[in-house]
Amino acid sequence: MIDKTVASMADAMAGIQDGSIILLGGFGAVGQPDTLLDGLIEHGARNLTIVANNAGAHRVGLARLMEMRRVGRIVCSFPRSSSSVIFEELYRAGEIELEIVPQGTLSERIRAAGAGIGGFYTPTAVGTKLADGKEMREIDGRMMVLETALHGDVALLEAWQADRWGNLTYNKSGRNFNPVMAMAAKTTIVQAHHIVKLGQLDPEHIITPGIFVDRIYPLNGAAA
């Protein structure tokens, strides 16, 4: 019998290595797996690369992980906000490496990884400093820049409902990067608000099928 639900946070985090590339779901706080982030803080892995849209807020979750000097590099589209104080401090002090990627290019690089595509040409960022040094090519009369796939070792995600096969639904704008990141990591770990019985999710309404998911951490304790 397949059962991807884990019994403890230690089981959810098992095997995450120092130096891992972590794909982190969420857009700001919405759809961000805060409980799994706390688990990663407890787990202790260091020298991490984080791939996420934002660079954490206040002094919790991702920001706390960075404050503990556990993140060496962050790949994101929008690190700056009034509450991203930890990131700003580390960046100014030269203690964290930053790769800025346009938001759609970030999403598509992750999708390419999940879909087995090595890279793609996009019109986004042509003529800007984010295309400096990259291969350019004119396709159908338009200049395009080559971007390559962005793979994760681990994806940490948040879903609304999950069953024991790892089929997932999301809640409103909590979907965001979660489905695409689920496809692109060697190990995909999901915190889920509700565990439902296999068969309870309408197959037409499953957004992420369980083939992309390895572990489910139930936020409300007991599995169904």
Partner 1 sequence: MTLWTRTEMAARAAADIPEGWYVNLGIGMPTMVADQVSADREVIFHSENGVLGTGPAPAPEDADPWLINAGKQHVTLRTGGSYVSHSDSFAIIRGGHLDLCVLGAFEVAENGDVANWATSENDTAPAVGGAMDLAAGAKRLWVLMEHTTKDGRPKLVQRCGNPLTALACVKRVYTNMAVLDITEAGFSVVEMAPGVTREALIAATQAELIFQ
Instruction: Please report, as ranges, the residues that interact with partner 1 according to CB under 8 A.
Output: 27-31, 53, 55, 77-81, 87-88, 91-92, 98, 100-105, 107-108, 110-111, 122-130, 170-180, 207
Closer to partner 1 by Cβ: residue 143 or 224: 143
Query: 165 or 177, CB closer to partner 1?
Result: 177
Min dist CB 14 to partner 1, Å, is 28
Is 188:214 a contact under the CB 8 Å cutoff?
yes
Q: State the minimum distance, in angstroms, from the CB of residue 6 to partner 1.
A: 24
Which is nearer to partner 1, 23 or 195 (by Cβ)? 23
Burial of 72 (0-12, 13-18, 19+ CB in 10 A): middle
Nearer to partner 1, 12 or 96 (CB): 96
Q: How far is the CB of 7 from partner 1 (least distance, A)?
A: 27
Nearest partner of 209 among 162, 175, 171, judged by Cα = 162
CB of 105 to partner 1, least distance (A): 7
Residue 132 backbone zone (phi > 0: left; psi -120 to 50: alpha; other: beta): beta
Cβ closer to partner 1: 16 or 96? 96
Q: Does residue 168 contact residue 38 with C-beta atoms inside 8 Å?
A: no
Q: Angle 220-71-29 (CA atoms, 0-180°, nearest 5)?
A: 40
CB of 193 to partner 1, least distance (A): 10
CB of 17 to partner 1, least distance (A): 27
Closer Cβ to partner 1, 16 or 184, answer by number: 184
